[in-house]
Structure 1
Amino acid sequence: MEDAATGGAFGAILNGLVWFFSNIAMSFYNLGYALTHPSSWLNWSDSEAVMRFVYYGASPELFFVVFTTVLVLTVIGIWRNNVMWGMVRGLEAFGNTVGRVAAWAGLIMVLQQVVIIFVQRIFARPDLSFGFGVPVTFDVSWWSEELKLYNAIVVALCLAYTFIQGGHVRVDLVYAPVKYRTKKIIDMFGSLFFMLPMATLMWLYSWFFLWRHLIVPKPSASEGLDRLLMKSRALRWNVETIGFSPNGFSAYFLFKILIVLMCGFIFLQGVTFFWRSYLEWKEGEESEGKYHDHDRVETGEEAYDHAEF
């Protein structure tokens, strides 16, 4: 009986390895087919193409395409470190640019709140219009609830940017006293076993969470491609426009899109952080912070500069 159990476990492991490597091999074909047949998943006038997009957006096929791409780029970067540094600089520049642009939503949020207070308390108007030529008019409560969208933009699109700038709060238990190379090993381990799996898991949940508020019949993560293609016969767009109050903000589907974007940016930054940590581990302490594009703070602009404790 023990031999049978051992043989069964060995067979399961062997089957798992075969499945894993066969999916890696198939990822080259899947990527090539997707790039050469874009109408099969990007032609959204075709309901089947929409369902293919929904399915493949959080499918094992996409996972292995991304996994294999990162693996190939990592191997190339290990072989040619200057190539990996180029990818690190490019992805960090992308994250910094997105974050710096999205951060302006905080200023817009403050200015809009000031306008809302003036409209409500001074002019006693029930609605508010914005725009040039063709103004957009909504109830004041709509504009008030929309402020949450600006806050969500800052949170979702500035996470990776803040990570690049080293602005997240960190709880240090063993990191500070260890040697430089040990720190880089910890960074690589953290990005591979915490940051990337967390971003992947959040993407899998948020992807179908988004699409369940955009189309009907509602897609499910447990349904295969054949089942979703059958559902496509009855597909119609049903974008979520229900607010929490009668005249409140009515575009909450935008929050779902931001969640998906946030997961993508976190994943990209996880890969970038692994590459940077590897290069700094290999090249030594003199390479720490190499090519980092840190925000410059002038004298007197430091956070809490005038705070009293």
Structure 2
Amino acid sequence: MLKLADVLERVNSLIGNTLCWAALAMMLLQFVIVLLRYVFGYSYIFLDEGVLYFHAALFMLGAGYTFLVNAHVRVDIFYAKCTERTQAWIDLFGHLFLLTPALIVLIWFSWPYVRGSWAILEGPISVGGIPASYLLKSLIPAYCVLLLIQGVAAFIRDIAKLRGARA
């Protein structure tokens, strides 16, 4: 089972490492926008939307990687003081009864919205923007799937901890 967790975690690891380059690209694009606007007096809406697309992709696709490296927000008033076994039980509860249902509900309610956007190949958010709003909206189910993948991997590792295996 731990091999399955390794395979699942590789998905988010690969995406997270790729997103590091996307962050650099977003920063460079923002630099170009500022340079064009304030030095040359030009402004392009599609470039501004490009930063928006990069930003959305970084947060939505990077959530699984953030979960993988345990860098997500955690309110650990008591959690940090618990034993590793108790932490595993708390995490199992969170994965089963909080994370998974929330992501399933989000997929359920966002899917018609995303499907409709793809059906008409929805155009830009603003006039002159990137004519691919459907790609931006597709980040919602992608976010859910990547977090679910990481949730399953974390669930497997927590079960292994409870069984005494080295996770």
| TM-score of the superposed pair, with normalisation by structure 1 | 0.51
Q: Secondary structure at the match of 1:176?
A: helix
CA separation of 1:180/1:113 partners in 2, compared to 1, >3 Å: closer, same or farther? closer
| Matching residue of 1:190 | 94
Which whole-Å CA distance do the structure 2 matches of 1:93 and 1:101 have between them?
12
CA distance in 1, matches of 2:85, 2:35: 57
Structure 2, unaligned runs of 5 or more:
none
Please give the residue correspondences for 1:166-205 in structure 2 after superposition, counting only pairs within 5 Å.
Answer: 166-205=70-109
Q: Which amino acid aligns with 2:79?
A: Y
In the alignment, what sits opposite 1:275? Answer: 156
For the residue of structure 2 that corresponds to 1:214, the secondary structure is: helix
Does residue 144 (structure 1) correspond to residue 48 (structure 2)? The answer is: yes
Distance 2:142 2:157 in 1: 22
Does residue 115 of structure 1 match 2:19?
no
Poorly superposed stretches of 4+, deviation over 6 Å: none
User: 1:247 Cα shift?
Assistant: 2.2
Q: CA deviation at 1:195?
A: 1.0
Q: Equivalent pairs: percent with the same residue?
A: 30
Q: Which amino acid aligns with 2:139?
A: L
Count of matched residue positions in the alignment of Structure 1 and Structure 2 = 167
| Residue identity in the other structure for 2:10 | A
Asked whether the 8 Å contact 1:99–1:161 carries over to 2, the reply is yes
Question: Structure 2 matches for 1:44-55, cutoff 5 A?
Answer: none
How do 1:49-198 residues align onto structure 2 when only pairs under 5 Å count?
A: 84-125=1-42, 140-198=44-102
- The CA deviation string for residues 208-230 of structure 1, in whole angstroms up to 9 with x for no partner, is 11012222xxxxxxxxxxxxxxx
Report the AA paired with residue 153 of structure 2. T
Q: Give ranges in structure 1 of 5+ residues lacking alignment.
A: 1-83, 127-139, 216-237, 291-309
2:121 is aligned to: 239
Which one-letter code corresponds to 2:28 in the other structure?
L
Task: Looking at secondary structure, tell me which structure has more helix per residue.
Answer: 2
Higher relative contact order by CA 8 Å / sep ≥ 6: 1 or 2? 2
Considering only CA atoms, is the larger Rg found in Structure 1 or Structure 2?
Answer: 1
